[in-house]
Amino acid sequence: MKQIIVGNWKMNGLSADADALVDGLVKGLGELPTRADVVVCPPFTQLARLAPALKRAGIALGAQDCHQDRAGAHTGDISAPMLVDLGVEYVILGHSERRGEHHELDETVREKAVAAMEAGLTPIVCVGENDDQRSAGDSQETVGWQIQGSLPQGFRGIVAYEPIWAIGSGTAASQQDIADMSAFIRAELVRQFGEAGKTIRILYGGSVNERNVTDILPVEHVDGALVGNASLKADAFVPLVRAARAS
């Protein structure tokens, strides 16, 4: 199974910037065959614009959220079928910034994951503890409850471990911390989903960059990375893809 590198642009990218970034990615990744699956998740406003160029380059298009309903009176929201209609294949759900700023509960994330799968999208469900939970020794308990509450039965997607205390800090979790949590997540997935839990990809996210990625990706049970700031520059994101293993 290939590792997967997912770029989360967050709320960044006007049209000229987005075009330039995708052009840089296409050129950088086109020089050599990539061993990883690559996904780019621009803001909603750029999805339709960037879809053709990304498709030609073999880069999958992802979104940063979706609503749990197919349609209805939800001003400002985007449904999973609307994303599919634009050529989107993946969707990030339950990111800590959504959980925090928009007060999303595990139940909401689970409902969105169901909606995404029903529409044919691959959900990337984020879990992770904050600094207080980490200091109290509750990291695994916190993540365990999030996995249990956020992933529906029959889950066909990806789990991204993003320790909240590492996001945007410039310093990723240590190899040992990543190894311990990835092993715990794998065990939880197997407990919840049986044999299917062995094949669910686990990503690490949280200040991943071109300097530390070679320490992160070889960790057992890490099947790729969810990348924030470093995905906004082609010369930073391309080396992350190159560092991934094919199997």
pLDDT by residue (tens digit) across 95-113? 999 999 999 999 999 999 9
Any known ligand binding at 8? yes
pLDDT digits (tens, 9 = 90+) for 134-183: 999 999 999 999 999 999 999 999 999 999 999 988 888 999 999 999 99
Over pLDDT 70: what percentage of the chain?
98
Mean pLDDT of 195-208: 97
The answer to whether residue 88 scores a pLDDT higher than 80 is yes
The answer to whether residue 247 scores a pLDDT higher than 60 is no
Which is the catalytic residue, given 67, 95, 97, 129? 95
CA 214 to chain centre: 18
The answer to whether residue 246 scores a pLDDT higher than 80 is no
Give the Cα separation of 1 and 37 in Å (integer): 10
What's the pLDDT score for residue 171? 87
Give the Cα separation of 132 and 129 in Å (integer): 8
Among the residue ranges 118-132, 138-152, 164-178, 201-215, the one predicted with the least confidence is 164-178
Give the Cα separation of 166 and 187 in Å (integer): 23
Kindly report the number of other CB atoms within 10 A of residue 213's CB atom: 23
Any known ligand binding at 9? yes
Token pair 């380059």 in the structure block, residue? 57
pLDDT digits (tens, 9 = 90+) for 24-61: 999 998 866 678 999 999 999 999 999 999 999 999 99
Which is the catalytic residue, given 97, 104, 129, 162? 162
pLDDT digits (tens, 9 = 90+) for 10-23: 999 999 999 999 99
What's the pLDDT score for residue 32? 62
pTM over 0.85: yes
Q: Does 162 participate in catalysis according to the annotation? A: yes
Give the Cα separation of 243 and 2 in Å (integer): 12
Token pair 């997540």 in the structure block, residue? 185
DSSP string of 27-77, one letter each residue: HHHHSS--SSEEEEE--GGGHHHHHHHHHHHTPEEEES--BSSSSSS-TT-
Q: How many domains does the chain have?
A: 1
Among 144, 225, 132, 230, CA closest to 178: 225
Q: Does 107 participate in catalysis according to the annotation? A: no
Any known ligand binding at 72? no
What's the pLDDT score for residue 35? 83
The CATH number given to whatever domain includes residue 205 is 3.20.20.70
Residues of the domain holding 164? 4-243
Token pair 């780019």 in the structure block, residue? 40
The answer to whether residue 80 scores a pLDDT higher than 70 is yes
- Bridge-based pairing of strands 158-161 and 4-8 is unpaired
Any known ligand binding at 96? no
